Structure 1
Amino acid sequence: MLHNRLLTLLSDFGLSDVYVGVMKGVIAQINPTLTAIDLTHEISPQNIAAARFCLMNAYSYFPDGTVHIAVVDPGVGSKRRGVAIKFAGGFLVGPDNGLFSGVLSESPPVAAVELTNSEYWRTPTPSTTFHGRDIFAAVGAHLASGVPLEQLGRAINPETLVQLPILECTQTDESLVGYIQYVDRFGNLITNIPGNLVEGKTWSVEAAGFTILSNKTYSDSPAGSFVALVGSHGWVEIAVNNGNAKLVLHKDLGDSVQILLHS
Structure 2
Amino acid sequence: MITLTTDFGVKGPYVGEMKGAILTINPEAKIIDITHSITRHSIVEGSFVMEQVVKYFPPNTIHVGVIDPGVGTERRAIIIEGTQFLVLPDNGLATLPLKWIQPKAAYEIDLKKMETIIGRKISSTFHGRDVFGPAGALLSLGYEPSRFGKEIDIESIIKLDLEPKKQEDCWLLKVIYIDDFGNVILNLENYERPKYVEILGRKIPYLDTYGKVKPGELLSLPGSHDYLEIAVNQGSAAELLGLKVGDEVKVKLIYGEG
Whether the aligned pair in 2 keeps the contact of 1:120 and 1:138 (CA below 8 Å) is no
Structure 1 residue 165 corresponds to structure 2 residue 161: yes
Give the one of 138, 147, 153 matched to 2:149.
Answer: 153
Amino acid at match of 1:35: K
Structure 1 residues 120 and 152: CA distance shift in structure 2, 3 A: farther
Percent of aligned pairs sharing the same letter:
38
Structure 1 position 53 matched with structure 2 position 48: yes
Contact kept in structure 2, 1:229 and 1:237, CA below 8 Å: yes
* Aligned-residue offset at 1:261: 2.7
Q: Does 1:18 align with 2:10?
A: no
Instruction: Give the TM-score, by structure 1 length.
Output: 0.90
1:107 deviation in Å? 3.9
Change (3 A) 1:175 1:262: farther
1:104 is aligned, of 93, 98, 102, to: 98
Map of 2:81 onto structure 1: 86
Contact 1:169 1:192 in 2 (8 A): no
Divergent runs of 4+, >3 A: 105-108, 119-124, 174-177
Q: 1:121 to 1:60 in 2, by over 3 A?
A: farther
Q: 5+ unaligned residues in a row in structure 2: which ranges?
A: none
Q: Tell me if structure 2 keeps the 8 A contact 1:213–1:228.
A: yes
User: Which AA in structure 1 matches 2:114?
Assistant: S
Q: Distance in 2 between matches of 1:47 and 1:26?
A: 24
Count the aligned residue pairs: 253
| Deviation digits for residues 175-198 of structure 1 (CA, Å, limit 9, x no counterpart) | 55533221112111101111x413
CA deviations on 1:130-171 (whole Å, 9 max, x unpaired) are: 000011101110011100111111111111111112232438
Cα distance in 1, alignment partners of residues 142 and 252 from structure 2: 47
* Residue 250 (structure 1) shift: 1.0
Q: 1:82 to 1:222 in 2, by over 3 A?
A: same
- 8 A Cα contact 1:207 1:249, kept in partner: no
Query: What amino acid sits opposite 1:240 in the alignment?
Result: V
- Structure 2 counterpart of 1:126, which letter? I
Give the counterpart letter for 1:213 in structure 2.
P
- Distance in 2, matches of 1:50 and 1:185, equals 13
* TM-score when normalising by structure 2: 0.92
For 2:225, give the aligned amino acid.
H
Q: Which residue of 2 aligns with 1:248?
A: 240
What is the CA-CA distance between 1:70 and the residue it aligns to? 0.2
* Structure 1 residues without counterparts, runs of 5 or longer: 1-5
Task: Provide the residue aligned with 2:132 in structure 1.
Answer: 136
Asked if 1:118 is matched to 2:114, the reply is yes
Q: Matched residue of 1:57: which SS?
A: helix
Cα deviation, 1:71-109, whole Å, max 9, x if unaligned, reads: 00000011111111102x211111111101112234442
Residues of 2 paired with 1:141 and 1:45: CA distance? 25
- 2:117, 2:65 → 1: CA distance? 16
Question: Is residue 258 from structure 1 mapped to residue 254 from structure 2 by the alignment?
Answer: no
Alpha-carbon contact 2:170-2:250 (below 8 Å) kept: no
CA distance in 1, matches of 2:105, 2:253: 41
Partner of 2:204: 212
CA distance in 2 between counterparts of 1:36 and 1:127 reads 23
